[in-house]
Every structure is written in C-alpha cells, then in structure tokens.
Amino acid sequence: MSAPIAVIDTGICNLRSVTKALEAAGARPLVVRTPGELDSSRAEGLVLPGVGALRDCVLSLRSSGMDATVRRWIALDRPFLGVCLGMQALFDESEEGGVRGLGIFPGRVVRFRLAPPLKVPHMGWNTVRFTQRGTALQEGLAPEGESFYFVHSYHCVPEDRSLVLAECDYGPPFVAAIARGRAFATQFHPEKSQARGLQVYRNFAASAAAQLIRG
C-alpha cells in the first residue's frame, strides 16, 4: 500500500526532479503550497526539498504559513524528509546572509572553510557513512559507505550530536544526514543519486506507508 507523500513547493525547489524520483520509487507524490492544501491531501509523508538560497526558502515557508506546519508535523513525529536546503532550514540560523531558520533543531549552518585544493561549493559524488544503525531511511544501504551526489557551500552543525545520522568527508567530516524519530533530512540530493538515491526515497515511502497502516 503506497501512501500519498506531500512535496512542499517553495518556488525555488527542484520540484520536478523530486516528484519524479518519488514516483520511480513507487510513491504517490502530491505538490502542496499551503497548509490547507496539505490538510486536504491526506498525505502521510512530507518532503521539503530545496536548491538555491536558504533565505528565499525560509521566507517562502513563512509567507505561506508552512513554517508552522513543518514544525507541527515534526513535533507529531510524522514521516518527514528534508533535502539540501530542506535540511538547513530546520536549524536555528545560517551564516548565509544571517538567515534565521525554523529553529526545530538547535544548531547553525556554516560555510565550508577549506584549504586548497578543495573548492567551494562541494559538488559531485562523495561517500556517506552512517553513524546510526537501524533507522527506516537506511534499509538496503551499506552502513560503512554509499555514494551520493552533493551540491552545497554550507553545512549543518547540530548542537545535539545524537541528531547525526550520517557523515561525509570534505576536508574535515561534515554532517550529511540527520534523524530524530520519523524525521529525516539529507544534505545530499537523493534525486540526483541514481539507484542509492531511489532507495532513500523508497525507504521514506515505506515509512509513510507504515504510518498509514498504523492509522
């Protein structure tokens, strides 16, 4: 049984890529822009994707009222997946223009400070290693390392290290994914990561379907 999965349209996200990847993973994505659209969708999972500037992403969420909706959804421990900016938006603040995030998790988003020859943005394939075990997002993925696709100049620094689901090395290690209950977020782009990325979306869809069965 596949559950509807709502994908938030902030106006700056890679919406088509994410919805197509969810479809390829066997999910039923529904695009939503407002809390009312989410309520009427009867979705069991919620995805917040994003590319571009974090300020634009957060301003869009606040202007539509979806900021409070995301906070409430995660507080209720319903299946949630943030992607790239959708992960960064969950924290308190960012060095990118001094942006205040949604403040769901304590921590900051900081710019890479790297010595040559490493370049910013961090772009391309890199190996992600899981630091937790047994979460719903990891089914079928090797804990010691899987390759995913990244495009970012900033990375998240959670105050609570128990949030960290996975790390990646680009110079020093940085946080590649977080998890708290049924809320997940990745700095990498599953929709650009071929088979392993589709497995991430398939796992998230299964988590949403399990929520539907429990309900």
Q: What percent of the chain has pLDDT over 90?
A: 87
Q: What Rg, from alpha-carbon coordinates, does the chain have?
A: 16
Task: Of 45, 52, 86, give the one whose Cα is nearest residue 206.
Answer: 45
Residue at token pair 């900033």: 154
**Once rounded to an integer, what is the mean pLDDT over residues 182-190?**
98
Q: What is the mean pLDDT of the chain?
A: 94
User: pLDDT tens digit string along 98-142?
Assistant: 889 999 999 999 999 999 999 999 999 999 999 998 999 999 999
Residue 12: which pLDDT band, with cuts at 50, 70 and 90?
Answer: confident
DSSP state of 138: G
Nearest 5°: CA angle at 92, between 180 and 114?
A: 95
**pTM of the predicted model, to two decimals?**
0.96
From the list 13, 84, 156, 168, the catalytic residue is: 84
Q: What percent of the chain has pLDDT over 70?
A: 97
At residue 212, the pLDDT reads 61
User: pLDDT tens digit string along 137-177?
Assistant: 999 999 888 999 999 999 999 999 999 999 999 999 999 99
**Once rounded to an integer, what is the mean pLDDT over residues 189-201?**
97
Active-site residue, 191 included = yes
From the list 13, 57, 155, 191, the catalytic residue is: 191
**Once rounded to an integer, what is the mean pLDDT over residues 198-209?**
95
Active-site residue, 156 included = no
Question: What is the β-pairing status of strands 146-152 and 99-100?
Answer: unpaired
Active-site residue, 37 included = no
Rounded CA gap, 52 and 48, in Å? Answer: 13
- List, as one string, the DSSP characters of 94-126: ETTTTEE---SEEEEEEE----TT--SSEEEEE
Q: Is the pLDDT of residue 190 over 60?
A: yes
At residue 11, the pLDDT reads 87
- List, as one string, the DSSP characters of 151-199: EESEEEEES-GGGEEEEEESSSEEEEEEEETTEEEESSBGGGSHHHHHH
Residue at token pair 């994914």: 177
Q: Which CATH class is domain 4-214?
A: alpha beta
User: Going by C-beta distance under 8 Å and a sequence separation of 6 or more, which residues neighbour residue 101?
Assistant: 54, 58, 88, 89, 90, 91, 92, 93, 94, 109
